Amino acid sequence: MKFLLLSDIHSSMDKLEKILTSANYDAVLIAGDLTQFRPKDARVVDEMLSEYTDLCFAVHGNCDHEIILGENYRVLRFIHGKSVEFEGYSIHGVGGSGITPFNTPSEYTEKEILEVMNSFTLGDFNILLSHCPPRGTLDRTFSGYHAGCEVIRKRMDSFNAILCGHIHESHGVINSTQLVVNPGPVMWGRYALIDFERRDVKLMKL
C-alpha cells in the first residue's frame, strides 16, 4: 500500500489539487496546517479530497483552529488524541504544536502533548501522525533553532514511523530505527509517497 503524505497546505488549494491529480497513491495522510487560520477552508480541502479518495486521516496544525475537529466531513477524519486501525497499521494522532512566539490558534504545552500520547493504544505496526516533529529530528528552523517536541522525542521508540511537518525548511527523511518523514509544505508543492512494507520513501516536488 502506498500512502500520500501531505503537510502544511496552508489553504494552497491549487497546489493541493495538482498533487492529488498527479500522484499515484492508495491512501492519504495529512500532518496538519490544512488552513491558513481560516476554519472554513478545511471544508474546501475535504471537498477536494473527496474527488480522489474515500478516506483521509489527518491532524490539525498550529495554524488550524480546533473548531475544525468537530465538523462533519465527507472523507477527512481527524485523529488528534486517537488511535485508529487501518489496513494492518495502527495510526496515532497528535495535532497542533508546542508553544511558539507567534500565538497561533492550536499550541500545547509539553504536558498537554504527553496527556494526548498517553491515551494511545499501540498495535503491531505503529505510525505517529503528528504536526510537530520530535525535538532534534527534522525540526531545525532557518535560524538554527530546533523547534520540535521533547515529549515526542522521548516517545519515539514506541513508533515504527513518525510522519510530521510544521518546520517547512526541514523536509527530509531519516530511515534508521524509526522512519521519520517531513514531506515539506504542500504550499511549496512538496509531498511524500511512502510504502511502509518496503521502507521506501520518495520526497516529491511539483
Residue range 23-70, pLDDT digits in tens: 999 999 999 999 999 999 999 999 999 999 999 999 999 999 999 999
* Arithmetic mean of pLDDT, 80-97: 98
Return d(Cα 182, Cα 165) in angstroms, integer. 5
Residue range 9-36, pLDDT digits in tens: 999 999 999 999 999 999 999 999 999 9
Mean pLDDT of the chain: 97
CATH topology for 3-205?
Purple Acid Phosphatase; chain A, domain 2 (3.60.21)
Nearest alpha carbon to residue 163 among 1, 11, 4 = 4
Task: Classify residue 7 as exposed, middle or buried by CB count within 10 Å of its CB (0-12, 13-18, 19+).
Answer: buried
Return d(Cα 186, Cα 39) in angstroms, integer. 18
Outline where the chain has alpha helix (H): 13-22, 41-49, 110-118, 150-154
pTM for this entry: 0.98
C-alpha cell recorded at residue 14: 491549487
Res 176: pLDDT: 87
Res 117: pLDDT: 98
Res 177: pLDDT: 85
